[in-house]
Structure 1
Amino acid sequence: MTITNMKNTLDARSMRGARLLQISHVFGLVSLLIQAPALVETNFDPYVSKFQRIIDLARLVLEPQKQEVTDKTFKIEFVLDMQLVAPLYAVAHRCRDPVIRREAVYLLKHRPWREGLWDSSLAAVTAEKIISLEEESLVSVTSCHDVPEWARIRNVDVEFDVEGRLGKIKYTRRRAEDNGTMEEYVDQMQW
């Protein structure tokens, strides 16, 4: 039975839970399919439709909560388990389709919340920096195929100075000249 068939029998809270479960399933499936001894970032490209599915489900989960906000002030919601932040961050980082990854960033930014150690605002800032770094030297990005392997960021490690609202992002990427040798980089970001 799909979620569409269950709409008439589930209350709003149960529908939210079912959608979160589907997000977890799709996220886990893509993660399992991609595992390889030598990770090649272009291996994520065939899963654009799966990333879009995560976005569609996340939008449905977040939309009712958006209506509950009546003014410009937001309270930070906190839950202990992983629900949306990690999958949306993964979509923004690993899916190189420009529309889908920016939608993931939008959903992370639209309302601040925390899931365990994952903070949606910091995940959004980090994802925006990754997108910027990957696309900065490319002429035009209209699909995932426009982002070559050498431009793709991997092994991301972030340190934040919360008081100074600064961050340091460490990452690796392949050298453009030979597309094989990995190099480590450090860059600054502000949030």
Structure 2
Amino acid sequence: MCHEEPAVRHAVVALSSLHEDLEVRGAPLSRENLSLAHHRFALGQYGRSLGVLNERRNSQDPKFRDIVLTCCLLFVAFEFMRGQYQLALSHLRQGVCIIEEARSSHDGLTVSTNMETAEKSLQAAMARLETYSVFFGLDPVARLGQAPTDWSLIKFSTVSEARNAFDMVLAQAVRFLSATYKFPLKERLPILHPELAEMQIKANFQMSQYLRQFNYSALQPQDKKEERGINLIRLQHLQFSITLQTVLSDDDRFIFIGYLEEFKRIIALCKTISNSFAEENPTGTRPKLLLDVGILPSLLLVGWKCHEFPVRQQALALLEAWPHREGIWDSRLLALFLKQLLHVELGTIQASGDPQSPMRMSTTRCLRFDQGERTATLHYETGNCGEYGPQSKVILFEEDIQ
């Protein structure tokens, strides 16, 4: 496509230029800096790609949809790297709508290149980005097909088959989570939302049935990449299982106490996956950019919700040891968030005078950034503990992100 289509070529060059700068400077929190030649050049190439697409917007070329979808995925990655998350999510939604429109009108997306593998890869990339973007406020649209109702007939012969099936299970889980997140935390009770409780039961059932058949398939990895793929499936299955089981609760300060072993398992899997990237490279370095989701959301879950501070500190250490980005997730931003959160909760323990105080698990509401992403506000509240009543504080912090 780069040889044949100017729009794709300019989009690839734009992304490549930002990626080159990322490899040179590492993965700083600083975003676009137009004083840097790489950034100015990249933005110019990005604009040229958009311009070519705009000129052909009324094209009857049967390949045009493929071109738009490919550029859309490249734009999503480009905007993530610039830190322009709203623009990235807008491109992502557009790409997902293209897939949905094609599926509904032609009974499945057909790419004009007749490259079935490319078709599936584009769909999978878009769907996986959309899956995790629900945690950033994006409503899910993609329908990757319905997960099987009778899992006893399923046996995976390849890691790719297992991952594709897991994507369908995640699609159902994400629709439930998206519906749940529309309600304030205090209103997330099954008794208040019986329809959500039913969705939760179905999603949990699909997750458990999938794991049973995944284990039954006993996949044997052919190389390091497939071994990592198996570990990623296990990691993300564990992460989503915990989230699904605990999300319908109006106070999550205590509900995670029983998940310590699962959190430790997440840490172990994240270490294995992180090390596998370094083992593949003769220099022992790991990539600074992944378009697919890896370990970051799982480490955030442990660092945020686990009751054992040593385990949470392990999650923070892993984030700091590998500065990189996975789609919309930024390891340095997550590390910054967890540092502030641990600071708040350690301060709460000291204030209560009781190291076993349940107050130590603050109910964190959200982390908000200003438009320039120079400052952030951590909103949280603590629970009751003896003579200490509920507290509500706002922590403002400004990070030197150059």
Place the TM-score, normalised by the shorter chain, in its bin: 0.7 to 0.9
Q: 1:159 aligns with which of 334, 351, 369?
A: 369
Q: Report the identity percentage.
A: 20
SS in 2 for 1:155: strand
Instruction: Answer yes or no: is the 8 Å Cα contact 1:151–1:176 preserved in 2.
Output: no
Counterpart in the other structure of 1:186: 395
Distance 1:69 1:162, change over 3 A: farther
Higher relative contact order (CA 8 A, sep 6+): 1
Structure 2 residue 291 is matched with structure 1 residue 98: no
Instruction: Answer yes or no: is the 8 Å Cα contact 1:168–1:189 preserved in 2.
Output: no
Gaps of 5+ in 1: 140-144
Structure 2 residue 247 is matched with structure 1 residue 20: no
Instruction: Answer yes or no: is the 8 Å Cα contact 2:277–2:287 preserved in 1.
Output: no
Amino acid at match of 2:379: K
Structure 2 residue 383 is matched with structure 1 residue 171: no
Which structure has greater strand proportion? 1
Which structure has greater helix proportion? 2
Amino acid at match of 1:64: S
Displacement of 1:107 after TM fit? 1.1
SS in 2 for 1:53: helix
Q: Distance in 2 between matches of 1:43 and 1:19?
A: 26
Which deviates the most, 147-156 or 46-55? 147-156
Render the CA deviation track for 1:156-181: whole Å, top value 9, x for unaligned: 223267775x4332223235566774
SS in 2 for 1:64: helix
Distance 1:26 1:146, change over 3 A: farther
SS in 1 for 2:307: coil
Structure label with greater radius of gyration: 2
Displacement of 1:58 after TM fit? 0.7
Residues 1-191 of structure 1 mapped to structure 2, 5 A cutoff: 2=215, 6=219, 9-67=221-279, 68=281, 70=283, 76-79=288-291, 81-138=292-349, 146=355, 148-153=357-362, 154-159=364-369, 164=374, 166-174=375-383, 176=385, 181=390, 183-190=392-399
Distance 1:123 1:179, change over 3 A: same
Counterpart in the other structure of 1:142: none
RMSD: 3.1
Q: Distance in 2 between matches of 1:103 and 1:157?
A: 22
Distance 1:40 1:113, change over 3 A: same
TM-score (norm 2): 0.40
Instruction: Answer yes or no: is the 8 Å Cα contact 1:96–1:147 preserved in 2.
Output: no
Aligned length: 181
SS in 1 for 2:251: coil
Amino acid at match of 1:158: R
Instruction: Answer yes or no: is the 8 Å Cα contact 1:175–1:183 preserved in 2.
Output: no
Amino acid at match of 1:38: D
Instruction: Answer yes or no: is the 8 Å Cα contact 1:83–1:115 preserved in 2.
Output: yes
Displacement of 1:10 after TM fit? 3.1
